Structure 1
């Protein structure tokens, strides 16, 4: 039977999805099932850090996080936002890490939306205009891409438009004009040099990647002895409809898209929910258990400070947030708990078991007014703490028990060899 693994972050992202995807890729490849990695949400704002046992490292944005394994392909589905410019840069980074054939292993759905440099510029302009009320954007144009596609569906930029440079240029000119009108004062290039350069990059990429034919994924899922890994983006607490609005992404980052793509396949599915042994948040928004001392102690070199999200914020483990994450994520079969090695040096842990004044309850589908009220309630939440003694392994077991899910994987470092599967 075809094997399918879905990897989903249960919190705000940065929980180690990339390392779990890399580990799962190697496990499947060792058993003779070289998997296809499917990206089913988000875009180039993903930052899935992977380090190989040999010491090579890369932060994956659009390529699947299992790309270090020879022969493994990536499929960017119709739910993915494709950014040719950052894809070009990422491919150069992979070459520097010894992977020279990543583009030839990349397959794109023709209907996937394209993110342009003008989406990125408008995104950064609008985020800066928010001042102290920033949403925590990564500055890579995700929201701008989705918003423009919703407002101008017949004029949206899609992967299939790359095959016709003349028509693509006409669409880009209209697109650039819209961005210029939306962002008064933003210096968007007035000549065509940047536009032509972007088209040139697109054409160079198009010569190496493959536009997936109709039924590509369905045909792969029909292969009994093959496997597929569905690699999520961000975390479910940033989901466009279930996250804490307005500090959210413009993508469905729950398991919904993955299960939609798997519908009718008959695959044997394992849906893994990923979480660190402690809580983190990169970007603006309420974070009830945030602790300055932990932020200092547990600084993370794979999540550096940046001008859009600031520093990675660290807090005590939060069962209330995790239970909400499980409630909105969709089907989760088991847990993968990461960063346990980073917990070991700290002996006096606290665990937030809930809140004095709040129970997080999912609202109606697509009710952003409710989600915004939930955000304000979370901002005022007062965690209930209890001491949390024992080893990091005991912490992982305890978290799984509190969440009512089997513990499938524990992670004690950055590489696949630092992962342990539990029967």
Structure 2
């Protein structure tokens, strides 16, 4: 039986999943997205095909990152919600950078569609929430998933019955007018626009269940890599609800979003991508956040780590690595190994802290609390372990770990940091990101 390998975010997203997916795609035939929409952003830096001495930066939002590898096919699965204008805009931008997607990009006919009215409603819902705003990307993802759950959504296959599509579309928009008032929106013009988009999309549409299972049963079997979107702490069930996304971002979302049985995943690797510190975008609890700019560390992580969203450009909130969060993530996703990213961002810190426990109302919590009210003072106290940084173990000729090409090259204090993480979590750290480029990744093993 051919196995399926999976890459998932282990924190609140933005861990750098795209870089590992890009590296692993060289050994896979298909790279599949299983959930989310164009609210997820992956930035990948690789050598230019036309000039290998220069780097080129690709920004992915909806399309699978594995497309950078010219022999890898991309698939957008049934669990993804798709805004077609953004789909084509992203594809056109990538192709303008020299990335040819011809014949190697496909979309599930069961994937739900995101429309512009979803994006308008997304903003209106945030206004309604006022001071308790979730901090969404305003990409319409939540309203599209709401429509899916309430069985009023429109899927890709609906585009190819024009009368049915137009009738359903009018009724859905009218329902939104009744709920939010008559906001400015030209329903009939949008129907005509989607006729043209449907025609352009048709060559990309497949029955993704049949497509994937034919790939798995072919001789030889195709090698499949699943690229997760967002991360476990943004999962609709297991994240910091309601400050989450609207899909299943964990291992369960791989099965439901692609129609792949668990046995294929169980026989492969599930790699959790973990930033060497913690970041999140938008509202919601963040127990290790450096809100008081303690010693300038929070700002250091933001600036040195270039912590600005690929999709929104928003500044990310930054804080110390939280092993309570990661233990929760490991329990649910059962990672076979971890990819620790952006370790080089910690190069110039004298001290590094790691959260090892939550003390809730005077008692150590067994796991990550479901109630968000317990994640703030006076209920919560975070227990930290402090490590010496490796700044003093670097030299003027070698001021960054970005030049390290093997685990043995890393400073001793950096190794101690890594080994503490894997011992605490009980999961080996297989990959270590020491810089933004494709080549700046150390593999242990």
Shift of 1:8: 0.9
Aligned to 1:166: 163
1:333-372 superposed Cα distances (whole Å, 9 cap, x missing partner): 111100011111222211221122252536xxxxxxx83x
Shift of 1:12: 0.6
Aligned to 1:297: 300
Aligned to 2:430: 408
1:87-126 superposed Cα distances (whole Å, 9 cap, x missing partner): 0111122122211325x32222221111111111111111
* Match of residue 44, structure 1, among 32, 38, 47: 38
For 1:417, what is the secondary structure of its paired residue?
coil
Aligned to 1:366: none
- Greater relative CO (CA pairs within 8 A, separation 6+): 1
Q: Which runs of 5+ in 1 are unaligned?
A: 29-33, 363-369
For 1:44, what is the secondary structure of its paired residue?
coil
Q: Is the 8 A contact 1:282 1:309 kept in 2?
A: no
Q: Is the 8 A contact 1:106 1:210 kept in 2?
A: no
**166-175 or 189-198, which deviates more:** 189-198
Question: RMSD over aligned Cα, in angstroms?
Answer: 2.4
Distance in 1, Cα, partners of 2:311 & 2:160: 35
Aligned to 1:238: 234
Shift of 1:266: 8.3
Q: Is the 8 A contact 2:160 2:198 kept in 1?
A: no
Distance in 1, Cα, partners of 2:101 & 2:312: 32
1:342 pairs with 2:364? no
**188-197 or 85-94, which deviates more:** 188-197
TM-score w.r.t. structure 2 length? 0.84
TM-score w.r.t. structure 1 length? 0.88
Aligned to 2:25: 25
1:200 pairs with 2:199? no
* Match of residue 222, structure 1, among 204, 217, 223: 217
How many residue pairs were aligned?
A: 402
Distance in 2, Cα, partners of 1:108 & 1:383: 44
Distance in 2, Cα, partners of 1:86 & 1:303: 23
Q: Is the 8 A contact 2:320 2:354 kept in 1?
A: yes
Q: Which runs of 5+ in 2 are unaligned?
A: 49-54, 391-412
Distance in 2, Cα, partners of 1:140 & 1:252: 17
**265-274 or 402-411, which deviates more:** 265-274
**9-18 or 191-200, which deviates more:** 191-200
Is the radius of gyration larger for structure 1 or structure 2?
A: 2
1:4-58 superposed Cα distances (whole Å, 9 cap, x missing partner): 21111111111111111111112x1xxxxx4211111111111111111332222
Q: Is the 8 A contact 1:284 1:309 kept in 2?
A: no
1:322 pairs with 2:316? no
Q: Which segments of structure 1 move beyond 4 Å, counting only runs of 4 or more?
A: 264-267, 300-303, 305-310
For 1:181, what is the secondary structure of its paired residue?
helix
1:35 pairs with 2:36? no
